[in-house]
Structure 1
Amino acid sequence: MPDGIKLAVDVYLPSTWHPGQRMPTILHQTRYWRAMAYRWPLSAFKESLPRGLMGHYAKRFLANGYAWMSVDVRGSGASFGHRRYSHAPEEISDGGHIVDWILQQPWSNGQVGSLGISYSGASAELLLVNQHPAVKAVAPMFSGFDLYPEIAFPGGIHLTWFTNTWQQITDSLDQNTLPFGGWLANLSIIGVHPVDEDPNETMLSKAIASHRLNWKPHKEALGITFRDDTPPSNHDLPNIDALGPMWYQDTIDRSGAAVYSFTGWFDGGYQHAAIRRHLTLTNPQNKLIIGPWDHGGRRQISPYSLGPAQFDHVGELLKFFDYHLKSLHTGIDQEAPIHYFTMGEEQWKATNMWPPMTTPLTLHLAPQYELQKESATEEQAKDIYSVDTTAGTGPESRWHTLVGLPINNPYPDRSEQDEKLLVYTSTPLIEDIEITGHPSTTLHLSTSSTDATIFVYLEDVSDEGKVSYVTEGMLRGLHRQFNGARAPYRDPIPYRSYRRADGAPMIPGEVATLSFNLLPTSYLFKKGNRIRLAIAGVDKDHFLILPGPPPTLSIYRSHQYPSQLILPHVSHKK
């Protein structure tokens, strides 16, 4: 790089390539090792082992006439340098210099695309900050846009499990050991692949040593409450906004490149990130797809179908890149810009707008812990809930998948957990009801403390009594106020700033209004089933638990304080 930092790269060309042949290039920039080295005894089987995390993507692109280039971003893998913070300006500008290098190669036809999952997905999107004319199309997959509400502080509540786990993973990788590797890590039989000219790994050792200065995301997050807080020990980072594409959205949009956003309904909070990205960026050739997938799209997750994803991600990407980098008529330009999957109905659908046309279905919290369409008539009605701090969403959740952990049995029957929560359930449905978009809730409540964390779960109760998770939302009471500010991006939900100036401690015993959206979904509640709203005060498995004794909540459901759930109902009546 111009500042002298050396980056480790792997370049792959199709086996049929011959001098004089030129082709487009796919650039993959990762901080999770571009390739792995297998030492004895695994080295005897290395040909059958994956070289990199995106190996199956690379093979398909190579077979379809692309060059593929994988890069360890600075401060990671076998690359030199250290990371002041994720996607710092110098890391972003590296991408532009790499594209310049690609264009000088004898196999390059001057057309470059980029893709990646999670961190490398953000790297693909941020490549556009350089506004390099050779970069025609990118596919940020399962990655964030506005990181504070999507992954680090959903609802303003620190997702401590994620930031702590992600720091452990990156610390291990940056020191050339496998995270959670057990005896494998101790034996050092798997590590990052050194560059070819470093057979004795001398350069690799020096590169690994330089990573010791890398930033500590969990440590920094512990010093943050509001989105405009400066991390106490990292004054290079202005605030958390500087970590995500939202910070650069205008520059990204001016690049003119087409952007294809991939995400899943169980992809942490990233399905909302993909929606925000798609609504904000203005290129008419941009695409959005939301499937019934986990983070990375490996698993199909629905109460009605669970198993390996039944979708050809690479084939869909080839349609996109073939059109933009090879000028092939793949038909993708004739399709609707948005495709999404409705769980329960188990059907793919297409739309030109998000959310699609819906009618609000309002369900009120009612006596006998019911949800009903009729509005409240009582003047002083409320339900008392002593927060159970043992409540959680378990080890196979939408949040666990963010670090690549498999979720083979996600959200098993929620009946046992619901016994710890305050739940409101509808009568059996007289017809199928599809909800697609962003459910929301308004809760009027008082608490015995000066702050509270509120979690709500939208659930489907079968006629046999099985309780299936649909989606969830959360809000910290401190962040309950809206200040009327316009969102810095296009978003289908009301904008909440999460800034220090808008914070407001709760007053014990005083009724406060918490209005917030649940994470978007598309789900069919079937005739005979019941809709449930479950309310918790903690998620012990994932989120910060506020200090102090567990609070007691009073949830009001009176004429004056009509707490309610609002569902985006898609009507199929003609």
Structure 2
Amino acid sequence: MSMVIEENIMVPMRDGVKLATDVYRPAQQGQWPVLVTRLPYNKDRRFPFEYPPFTKEKRIFLELNFDSARVVEAGYVIVAQDTRGRFASEGEFEPFVHEVEDGADAITWAASQPWSSGQVGMFGVSYQGLTQWQAAREQPAALRAIAPSQSPGWHVYPYQGGAFLLGVALGWATGVAMEEVQRRVGQGRATRAELEEMMQASGDLPALFRRLPLVDVPLLQGRAPYYFDWLAHPTLDEYWRTLIQEEFYEQVTVPALTIAGWYDHFQREDLEHYQSMRQRGGSALARSLQHLVIGPWSHGNFLRGFRERTYGAASFARDLLTDLHLRWFDHWLKGIENGVEQEKPVRIFVMGTNVRREEEDWPLPDTQYRPYYLHSGGHANTATGDGVLSTAQAD
């Protein structure tokens, strides 16, 4: 099936800001279900080199765990949108702030187009996963199901156990700031010298991590001001309460296929999404039809495995995950009775034995819990230190 690509359609949001949107659709006349993804990382970013099966024409964020050509050939339209204030979109970027309303507006727009059947799903990895959960909170009428993968938590709070998640927060903010400078260069609001300075800093993150105090990152001033807000608000105060909705899961009423990785730093958040939706989802359908897949993947790495270890076909999982997406959306968007609702909801890859298992729930019903304790000889502060985990309680 041949494909038509329409680029940089400026779609108005409810406040008049227009967001750049690409459409990939079958060339044949007809109305098709639509899969939407929204991201701050450039919907048009291409692979920088030939990486079979990818060519330089492929858009990275349509291909991470998904074969976009196969999906269009299967009779879907793909809609990809730069989030507010990013790349070709208008407005100012404030992480997490506008994704509920903008996501719902994008879904409504997609459902109303002449090539649309009015049935909409969402897909994507990392921030693309977060935009799915956020849009689902507004319960847009056309949204039927989502497939978030390796998604941050709903509470987007960069602290854990009281400690600031410096590697995640500063690393992410620096990358986003560099892209913001690129955007400003294209608009004539920044110089090449500023971009080169930002790229040099991004290329040596360990040097930024060592800087004290943590607020001493002048390159982020005016480019990622939210980083300084995060540092200024270490507790769950009013700043965070404007972003955090305690009844988040109660607002989501659609089935979700959550895709997680054993090596992913958002694994805990993915498991929380699955468990909380089973318990607190906003409809009986949402509570009973949450599915979870866990494989041997790190963040965004579904294509190549690891230099130290691969897990056979499971390390190169794009085809497998495309099959899962199509089966999921064929049921919820096309109404095909393919057995999705009768399947066991949890699929895990067991590392070591390297086998896939289907289970009734997560945590596994027969889980046996055992406490582990940190031990060391006083030098557990590096990757080559002497820290160990043991079932023996420390003195």
* Shorter-normalised TM range: 0.7 to 0.9
Aligned residue type for 2:83: V
SS in 2 for 1:170: helix
Instruction: Tell me which of 270, 274, 278 is aligned to 1:278.
Output: 274
**1:157 matches 2:166:** no
**1:75 matches 2:85:** yes
**1:392 matches 2:363:** no
CA distance in 2, matches of 1:32, 1:53: 8
CA distance in 1, matches of 2:55, 2:310: 34
Change (3 A) 1:247 1:143: farther
Q: Who is 1:287 aligned against?
A: 291
Q: Who is 1:87 aligned against?
A: 96
Instruction: Tell me which of 257, 261, 267 is aligned to 1:260.
Output: 257
Aligned residue type for 2:341: D
CA distance in 2, matches of 1:352, 1:250: 22
Check conservation: 1:13, 1:62, Cα contact below 8 A: yes
Instruction: Tell me which of 120, 129, 141 is aligned to 2:128.
Output: 120
Q: TM-score, normalised by structure 2?
A: 0.74
Alignment of 1:459-538 (within 5 A): none
Aligned residue type for 1:50: K
Q: Which has the higher helix share?
A: 2
Check conservation: 2:133, 2:154, Cα contact below 8 A: no
Paired residues, number: 335
Identity of aligned residues (%): 24
Q: Who is 1:57 aligned against?
A: 67
**1:309 matches 2:315:** yes
Q: TM-score, normalised by structure 1?
A: 0.52
CA distance in 1, matches of 2:372, 2:47: 59
Change (3 A) 1:304 1:324: same
SS in 2 for 1:13: strand
Aligned residue type for 1:86: P
Change (3 A) 1:160 1:358: same
Check conservation: 1:22, 1:107, Cα contact below 8 A: yes
Q: Which has the higher strand share?
A: 1
**1:216 matches 2:225:** yes
Check conservation: 2:146, 2:254, Cα contact below 8 A: yes
Larger radius of gyration: 1
Q: Who is 1:31 aligned against?
A: 40
Unmatched 5+ stretches in structure 2: 1-12, 185-191, 197-219
Q: CA deviation at 1:361?
A: 6.2
Q: CA deviation at 1:424?
A: 6.0
**1:351 matches 2:363:** no
Aligned residue type for 1:14: P
Alignment of 1:168-183 (within 5 A): 168-176=174-182
Q: Who is 2:76 aligned against?
A: 66
Unmatched 5+ stretches in structure 1: 187-210, 231-237, 370-382, 394-415, 427-440, 444-554, 557-574
Aligned residue type for 1:8: A
CA distance in 2, matches of 1:98, 1:363: 46
**1:8 matches 2:20:** yes
Deviations 1:436-472 (A, max 9, x none): xxxxx9x6xxxxxxxxxxxxxxxxxxxxxxxxxxxxx
Q: CA deviation at 1:273?
A: 1.3
Q: CA deviation at 1:250?
A: 1.6
Q: CA deviation at 1:29?
A: 0.6
